């Protein structure tokens, strides 16, 4: 009987060692912190100003680098929200935004401070952003509301773009 207990104790110890295997190989978190922008419409019908959520019919969005449209992020998609990847190596990002193929496009410029953030041994480092300045042309966009300057995850709505009812 004593031998049976020794065998069970040895098996339990081996299972315990196997359960404590190095977990630094896995990363269960996202390293991206995209800027989340929501679209809203300023409705002035009947002389009353109302803000309501809207879906833009044909959103096209490009990243701009050195004055050239570089990467297509969205192409003629109906969207209510967009997620923009900010650059982790420079302190500003520029985007081309057209919300409908019949409307004049706008340019969005974001200036921010970057902070490296240690996530875990398996994930490594991510980048957090703190918005300093938002500059936009006002062709289609009426105004910009900054909801949160700290971009630490993609779940929060960081900006709201307001468009006039046309």
Return averaged pLDDT per consecutive 10 residues of the chain, 166 residues in all: 67 56 61 89 80 90 80 89 92 94 92 91 88 95 95 91 83
Flag whether 52 is in a domain: yes
Q: Bridge partners of 120?
A: 124
In a domain, 24, yes or no: no
Q: Please give the pLDDT value at position 119.
A: 82
Residue 21, domain member (yes or no): no
Closest by CA to 93, choosing from 112, 75, 106, is 112
Task: Report if residue 140 sits inside a domain.
Answer: yes
Whether 78 is covered by a domain: the verdict is yes
What's the confidence (pLDDT) of residue 20?
52
Overall pTM surpassing 0.85 (yes/no): no
pLDDT at 79: 94
**In degrees, to the nearest 5, what angle opens at C-alpha 158 toward C-alphas 65 and 107?**
35
Res 122: pLDDT: 80
34 within some domain: yes
Angstrom distance (rounded) from CA 127 to CA 89: 10
User: Residue 131: what pLDDT?
Assistant: 96
The Cα 27–Cα 114 span in angstroms is 22
Domain count for the chain, please give it: 1
The verdict on residue 143 lying in a domain is: yes
> Within a domain: residue 132?
yes
Give the list of residues 6+ apart from residue 66 with CB closer than 8 angstroms, or none: none
Q: Are 158 and 35 in contact (CB under 8 A)?
A: yes
The pLDDT assigned to 5 comes to 64
pLDDT of residue 32: 76
Give the structural domain span for 96: 29-164
Q: Please identify which residue in the block is written with the tokens 């833009």.
A: 56
């Amino acid at each position: 009987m004593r031998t049976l207990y020794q065998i069970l104790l040895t098996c339990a110890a081996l299972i315990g060692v196997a359960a404590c295997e190095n977990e630094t190989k896995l990363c269960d978190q996202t390293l991206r912190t995209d800027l989340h922008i929501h679209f809203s419409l300023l409705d002035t019908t009947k002389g009353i100003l109302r803000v309501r959520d809207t879906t833009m019919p044909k959103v096209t969005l490009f990243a701009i680098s050195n004055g050239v449209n570089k990467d297509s992020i969205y192409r003629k998609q109906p969207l209510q929200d967009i997620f923009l990847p900010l650059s982790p190596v420079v302190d500003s990002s520029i985007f081309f935004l057209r919300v409908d193929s019949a409307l004049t496009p706008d340019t969005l410029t974001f200036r921010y401070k970057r902070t490296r953030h240690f996530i875990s041994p398996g994930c490594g480092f991510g980048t957090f952003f703190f918005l300093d300045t938002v500059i936009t042309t006002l062709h289609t966009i009426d105004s910009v509301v900054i909801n949160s300057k700290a971009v630490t995850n993609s779940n929060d709505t960081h900006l709201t773009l307001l468009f006039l009812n046309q």
